[in-house]
Amino acid sequence: MKEEKIRFKDAVKINLRGLLLVYSLVPGNLFMNAMLIVVDVVCSYWNFFFLAKLVNDVVLGSSREVLVWDVILVTIGQTLVLFLFNLLQKFWYYSGSNSWDAPNAYLNEKIMSMDYEYMESESIHNRRRDIDAMARYSGGGMCKLFWLATPVVERMIQMLVAFGYMAYLASRSFVAFPGEPWKAVAFVGVFSIAFVMLLILSMKKNKVAEKKMNQYNEANVPNYRQYQFYTREYMEKEECGKTIRMFRQQNVLSFYFDKLMKEINGNIDKIGKEDQKRNVWVGAIEALVSGLVYFLLAVMVSKGAILVGSICLYAGCITNFLLHFRGWLAQWVEISVNTKYVKMYLDFLDIPNKKYEGTLPVEKRDDDKFTIEFRHVSFRYPGSDRDVLKDFSIKFHIGERLAVVGKNGSGKTTFIKLLCRLYDPTEGEILLNGIDIRKYDYREYLSLFSVVFQDFKIPALPLGENVAVSREYDASRVKSVLERVGLGELLRKMPDGLNTPLYTDFDKNGVDISGGEAQKVAIARALYHDTPFVILDEPTAALDPLAEYEIYSHFDDLVGTKTAVYISHRLSSCQFCNDILVIDEGKAVQRGNHEKLVKDQEGLYYTLWNTQAQYYQTEG
Ligand code: ADP
């Protein structure tokens, strides 16, 4: 990862925005944090203050009643405050645990709403993986910011209160040395120098250690990502499980797995060792200065500037100041190091959607009369220098059946992606009823299409929700489409009807369905949405040509008067269509019905038909 300097002003902005995001999702946390800070500060000083008062009251020979109250405040009072603090802290952890999910909530939202083209970019996926890896393994990023923000603010308040007491103590040095202001100033000077020295030393040690820790953590990010890949994206997948077993991949994988673990653990080990060294030094210096502080306080008592009991209060304040200063510095450095990861996260959320989104409503037509036209469309994928579609022009109307055929890689799926505006053309335009589709409201435009993609996915959700893609749905319509696609029998066998979860990934009462059944669920999903256009983009690629033909021609009855677009690299599947478009190397090269195309011996269709014929000529 490249070292990137973030200016202080920007760092403040980044962290504040990060905090706002977390708090806006769980607003109760802000109140909880403020309460916790107040109670913790009170808790810290309660003991110092009332213990000092008790000792001083004893020394001054105060009444029994006063002493009893002092004892009550020191013991029961302190216990009650501590109890309150612990209670609040418990709630803080409880409510704060929501913050673990808050950053993911925004990321998930972003992933689902960002331009589709980003989904096909590995670098975008790697960015999210790095954010995950950082958060999961080193607790870095948004969660760290949330958990650090409260103690950082609290420590500042703790230091402020301690500083107030110390300022008062400094003013008492003039009482200790009456008429000798130089001595008083010198006294405060010695005190301050010792104090500042300790602060500086503390600061230096912290910075070095944190910097090292950051370096090791960063060095581990690619390791974490790779580790996640092996464990989550490879080993757990069924298809990989087969390869692992068939080719005995265990040895190769174990080698890389061990190598990664060694690197990760080696780096963590180094952090631990550095930390130990630092703690020894800081502890030793702290002990030295504490001794000096007690000596100076004793001088104040002997000079009558403070009462002996107040040593508890001032020594407590000083120790508290140092403790919180060191902790504050460490956490401040942690925040500043962590800023980079918060930025990584926010930058991800800020990835701009480039697609122009118009506002025109899509005309609602009772007659569903829609015309789609590709006019001189060329398209190349982002980052590529090759046109996948070249000067592509076609026109088709609602109610028509269009079959798009061509070799693998000729641009058929790309044509569908452009039609559904998952991408915009690099050149040329696509028109719906004569208007550039970019000018339409994107959601409205999309609502014209139902697509069954080649790589369709059926998530592990209840059957009814899967078909309707909604928590609420019209059960009788869902049942009707399931019957129509031939899943009536399956539905009747489902133990909980439409509420039966598909697959057993997350529910032991789920029902596993076959690839063919999943495909029918995907088709039912497309039909349930009752859109003017239905597109089948080779969802049957895994089937043999005859089975595909059967599904396609059966589907033709299902779509009724809608416009259907069938994509296939197998010509046999689409011969029932009156309108066949042949794509070759991104160009629309032929169009017509099967009879016409197969007669053109110069055409690609003829060649493909004859080459593929062996696969689908039936015995009869
Ligand atoms: P078909 O559906 O006809 O098999 P596609 O439309 O999927 O063909 O692909 C057409 C060409 O575009 C192929 O050469 C393919 O490698 C390329 N391609 C597809 N998707 C991407 C992408 N996301 N980035 C770069 N090139 C791509």
Look at residue 392 and give its three-state secondary structure: strand
Top mutation candidate among 381, 452, 587 for ligand 1, by most atoms within 8 Å of CB: 381
* Claim to verify: residue 168 and residue 221 sit in the same structural domain: yes
- How many helices and strands, by DSSP H and E, does the chain display? 21, 10
CA distance 558 to 482: 11
- Quote the pLDDT of residue 396: 84
- Quote the pLDDT of residue 620: 35
Cβ-contact 260, 267 below 8 angstroms: no
Cβ-contact 380, 425 below 8 angstroms: no
Which residue has its alpha carbon closest to ligand 1 atom 5?
Answer: 411
CA distance 552 to 614: 20
* CATH code of the domain containing 126: 1.20.1560.10
* Claim to verify: residue 454 and residue 532 sit in the same structural domain: yes
* Claim to verify: residue 343 and residue 376 sit in the same structural domain: no
CA distance 54 to 49: 9
Q: What is the pLDDT of residues 66-84, one digit of tens each?
A: 999 999 999 998 899 889 9
Q: What is the DSSP letter of 248?
A: T
User: Cα 298 from chain centroid?
Assistant: 56
**Tokens at residue 474, please?**
């019209």
| Overall pTM > 0.85 | no
309 is a domain residue: yes
- Quote the pLDDT of residue 438: 93
48 is a domain residue: no
* Final residue of a structural domain among 317, 349, 381: 349
Q: What is the pLDDT of residues 194-231, one digit of tens each?
A: 778 777 766 666 666 666 666 777 777 778 878 877 77
Which residue has its alpha carbon closest to ligand 1 atom 19?
Answer: 414
Q: Between helices 545-559 and 604-616, what is the axis angle to 10°?
A: 110
478 is a domain residue: no
Which residue has its alpha carbon closest to ligand 1 atom 11?
Answer: 409
* Final residue of a structural domain among 349, 384, 415: 349
* CATH code of the domain containing 549: 3.40.50.300
568 lines ligand 1 (CB under 6 A): no
Domain that holds residue 422: 371-458+513-615
* Claim to verify: residue 323 and residue 394 sit in the same structural domain: no
Cβ-contact 23, 96 below 8 angstroms: no
- Is the alpha carbon torsion for 137, 106, 91, 86 positive or negative? positive
Strand order in the sheet with 449-452: 449-452, 533-537, 563-568, 401-405, 579-584, 587-592
What residues does 605 pair with on adjacent strands? none
507 is a domain residue: no
What 3 state SS string does 396-440 have?
EECCCEEEEECCCCCCHHHHHHHHCCCCCCCEEEEEECCEEHHHE
How many structural domains is the chain composed of? 2
Percent helix, strand, coil in the chain, to 5, is 65, 10, 25
35 is a domain residue: no
Residues of the chain with pLDDT under 70: 1-4, 96-100, 137-139, 201-214, 238, 268, 271-279, 281-282, 286, 364-368, 540-545, 547, 614-620
614 lines ligand 1 (CB under 6 A): no
Cβ-contact 502, 517 below 8 angstroms: no
Burial 84-116 (b: 16+ CB within 10 A, else e): bbeebeeebeebbeebeebbeebbeebeeebbe
Q: What is the pLDDT of residues 254-310, one digit of tens each?
A: 888 888 888 877 776 776 666 666 667 667 776 777 788 888 889 989 998 899 999
74 is a domain residue: no
* Claim to verify: residue 158 and residue 190 sit in the same structural domain: yes
- Quote the pLDDT of residue 210: 62
Rounded to the nearest angstrom, the distance between the alpha carbon of 81 and the centre of ligand 1 is: 66
Which residue has its alpha carbon closest to ligand 1 atom 7?
Answer: 413
List all residues 6 or more positions away from 57 whose beta carbon is below 8 Å from its beta carbon: 66, 67, 70, 309
List all residues 6 or more positions away from 263 whose beta carbon is below 8 Å from its beta carbon: 220, 223
- Quote the pLDDT of residue 223: 81
Task: Say how many C-beta atoms besides its own lie within 10 A of residue 320's C-beta.
Answer: 20
441 is a domain residue: yes
416 lines ligand 1 (CB under 6 A): no
* Claim to verify: residue 402 and residue 326 sit in the same structural domain: no
* Claim to verify: residue 281 and residue 415 sit in the same structural domain: no
CA distances from 361 to 369, 425, 437 (A): 15, 21, 11
* Claim to verify: residue 345 and residue 378 sit in the same structural domain: no
* Claim to verify: residue 517 and residue 403 sit in the same structural domain: yes
381 lines ligand 1 (CB under 6 A): yes
Task: Say how many C-beta atoms besides its own lie within 10 A of residue 265's C-beta.
Answer: 12
Which residue has its alpha carbon closest to ligand 1 atom 8?
Answer: 409
Task: Say how many C-beta atoms besides its own lie within 10 A of residue 377's C-beta.
Answer: 24
254 is a domain residue: yes
* Claim to verify: residue 296 and residue 378 sit in the same structural domain: no
* Final residue of a structural domain among 314, 349, 384: 349
* Claim to verify: residue 179 and residue 309 sit in the same structural domain: yes
Burial degree of 431 (CB within 10 A; 0-12, 13-18, 19+): middle
* Claim to verify: residue 400 and residue 288 sit in the same structural domain: no
**Tokens at residue 13, please?**
């902005």
